[in-house]
Amino acid sequence: KAGVTQTPRYLIKTRGQQVTLSCSPISGHRSVSWYQQTPGQGLQFLFEYFSETQRNKGNFPGRFSGRQFSNSRSEMNVSTLELGDSALYLCASSGGGSAIDNEQFFGPGTRLTVL
């Protein structure tokens, strides 16, 4: 079974631009979560999508948004980029059912640098 894939792996943008990151979950997984990892704040939850609906949301400004498609693939968008948005963005997929045994499988991440 192929793992979680994220594209692109590396991205360089300038302040004020917008960016879209993509995540393909493990086949059959319906839940996709996004996390931001920075040296200062560590790993922080952004949001989670399940069956094309946002089910959970972290404490990030509205510039961060996402969506999920019918095939469970997900995209994350950041508008009006700021220097502080430079981070590793991680996507995780899970079966999505209510059982606590649904572990999350993480992708390798997209390294975003904002200049």
Partner 1 sequence: DAKTTQPNSMESNEEEPVHLPCNHSTISGTDYIHWYRQLPSQGPEYVIHGLTSNVNNRMASLAIAEDRKSSTLILHRATLRDAAVYYCILRESSGGSNYKLTFGKGTLLTVNP
Q: Residue 4, SS3?
A: coil
Pairwise CA distance, residues 55 & 1, whole Å = 26
Q: Tell me if 31 contacts partner 1 by CB under 8 A.
A: yes
Map residues 3-22 to x or -, x wherever contact with partner 1 holds by CB under 8 A.
-x------------------
- 2 lines the binding site for partner 1 (CB under 8 A): no
CB of 2 within 8 A of CB of 105? no
Interface with partner 1, residue 107, by CB under 8 A: yes
Q: Does 112 bind partner 1 (CB under 8 A)?
A: no
CA 104 vs CA 17, 34, 78, 95, 96: distances in Å = 31, 11, 23, 8, 9
Q: What is the DSSP letter of 99?
A: -
Cα(96)–Cα(74) distance, integer angstroms: 14
Query: Is residue 106 near partner 1 by the rule CB under 8 A?
Result: yes
Q: What's at 24, amino acid-wise?
A: S
Residues 60-89 that bind partner 1 (CB under 8 A): none
Region from 12-20, 63-71, 73-81, 91-99 binding partner 1, contact rule CB under 8 A: 91-99
Residues forming the site for partner 1 (CB under 8 A): 4, 31, 33, 35, 42-45, 48, 50, 55-56, 58, 90, 92, 94, 96, 98, 100-109
